[in-house]
């Protein structure tokens, strides 16, 4: 019963999560609860460990100690949890000589999506790339590529979207587009976004929760009530003063 309750309120829980690389501590005893339906921002200076934490959640790195759980609706023992998670990493992982469609089709097959063609065409339209359906990716602009990566991230209609600096290097209008996309994504309350970014002013407009990482430690966790009172920048700077 307790388990069920926990499943409902948080989608991700980490307990004492630590990661060391060759004796250097990169993540130190991370305890985080990521509420279902939230837009959860993960911020912190370069090298704080945000990407490392995301890689652990995606199963790319094994934690040195500690545990984490991801509770999605389909989460029973046999179900492959990765099918409920979409992601955008630092590196886009697109194949420049393949077309937009082919790049998405690769993942559609990996995720074993049934109505591949309809789904891909729908997503290309959603991100405004229908025109570039058969163009090779190397001719796309940075913004278009990022949109294509986003389309790929939601190809399998995931419940949880993990974004690692999705808008770095993009111009204002594309940033706004991404921001609106993320807000719409969680609109119904059953989907969650975990986003790492350095764009505090962008995050401030959409995020409901925030965790600040500094030197591998959680230097503060705030919810929307805190965010209503203090600006994200102030919270960020304040967390640094304690060092």
Ligand X SMILES: Nc1ncnc2c1ncn2[C@@H]1O[C@H](COP(=O)(O)OP(=O)(O)OP(=O)(O)O)[C@@H](O)[C@H]1O
**Residues at the contact surface with another protein, assessed by CB under 8 A:** 21, 55, 58-62, 80-83, 87, 89-98, 102, 106-107, 109-111
Tell me: does residue 51 bind ligand X (CB under 6 A).
yes
- Whichever of 83 and 198 has its CB closer to Mg ion, that residue is 198
How far is residue 143 from each of residues 88, 167, 175, 228, measured CA to CA in Å?
A: 14, 8, 9, 31
Chain positions 40 to 59 lying near Mg ion, rule: CB under 5 A, are: 50-51
Identify the burial level of 232 via C-beta atoms within 10 angstroms of its C-beta, where 0-12 means exposed, 13-18 middle and 19 or more buried: buried
CA 156 and chain centroid, separation:
15
Among 47, 96, 169, 240, binds ligand X (CB under 6 A): 47
Residue 185 interacting partner from Mg ion, ligand X, another protein, none (CB closer than 5 to 8 Å by kind): none
52 binds ligand X (CB under 6 A): yes
Q: Please tell me the distance from the alpha carbon of residue 218 to that of residue 31, in angstroms, as a whole number.
A: 8
Q: Which stretch binds ligand X (CB under 6 A): 43-51, 79-87, 121-129, 220-228?
A: 43-51
Cα gap 42→16, rounded to integer Å: 17
58 binding partner (options ligand X, another protein, Mg ion, none; Cβ < 5 to 8 Å by kind): another protein
Total residues at interface with ligand X (CB under 6 A): 10
Q: β-pairing, 10-21 with 65-70?
A: antiparallel
State the binding partner of 59 from another protein, ligand X, Mg ion, none, CB within 5 to 8 A by kind.
Answer: another protein
Taking the complex as a whole, the smallest distance from the CB of residue 157 to ligand X amounts, in Å, to: 27
219 binds ligand X per the rule CB under 6 A: no
Binding of residue 78 to ligand X (CB under 6 A):
no
Give every CB contact of residue 165 below 8 A, 6+ residues apart in sequence.
90, 196, 197, 198
Cα–Cα distance for residue pair 46/79, rounded to 1 Å: 35
Alpha-carbon distance of 215 to 179, in angstroms, equals 27
Kindly state the smallest distance separating residue 32's Cβ from ligand X, in Å.
14
Report if residue 49 touches ligand X, rule: CB under 6 A.
yes
Residue 61 or residue 68: which is nearer to another protein going by CB? Answer: 61
Minimum CB–partner distance for residue 226 and Mg ion (Å): 24
Q: Is 62 within 8 Å of 54 (Cβ atoms)? A: no
Give dist(CA 10, CA 70) in Å, integer. Answer: 8
Q: Which two tokens stand for residue 151?
A: 């389309």
Nearer to ligand X, 83 or 215 (CB): 215
Q: Which residues bind ligand X (CB under 6 A)?
A: 21, 26, 44, 46-52
């Amino acid at each position: 019963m307790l388990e069920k309750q926990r499943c409902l309120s948080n989608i991700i829980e980490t307990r004492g999560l630590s990661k060391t690389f060759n004796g250097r501590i990169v993540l130190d005893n991370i305890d985080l609860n990521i509420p279902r339906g939230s837009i959860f921002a993960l911020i912190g200076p370069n090298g704080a460990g945000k990407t490392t934490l995301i890689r652990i959640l995606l199963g790319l790195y094994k934690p040195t100690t500690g545990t984490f759980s991801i509770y999605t609706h389909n989460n029973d023992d046999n179900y492959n949890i990765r099918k409920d998670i979409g992601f955008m990493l630092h590196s886009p992982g697109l194949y420049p000589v393949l077309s937009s469609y082919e790049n998405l089709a690769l993942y559609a097959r990996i995720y074993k999506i049934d109505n591949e063609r309809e789904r891909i065409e729908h997503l290309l339209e959603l991100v405004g790339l229908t025109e570039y359906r058969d163009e090779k990716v190397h001719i796309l602009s940075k913004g278009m590529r990022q949109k294509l990566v986003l389309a790929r991230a939601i190809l399998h209609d995931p419940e949880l979207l993990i974004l690692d600096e999705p808008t770095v290097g993009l111009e204002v209008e594309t940033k706004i587009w991404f921001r609106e996309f993320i807000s719409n994504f969680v609109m119904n309350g059953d989907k969650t976004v975990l986003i790492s970014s350095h764009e505090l002013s962008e995050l401030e407009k959409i995020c409901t929760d925030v965790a600040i990482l500094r030197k591998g430690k959680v230097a503060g966790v705030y919810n929307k009530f805190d965010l209503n009172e203090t600006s994200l920048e102030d919270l960020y700077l304040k967390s640094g003063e304690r060092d």
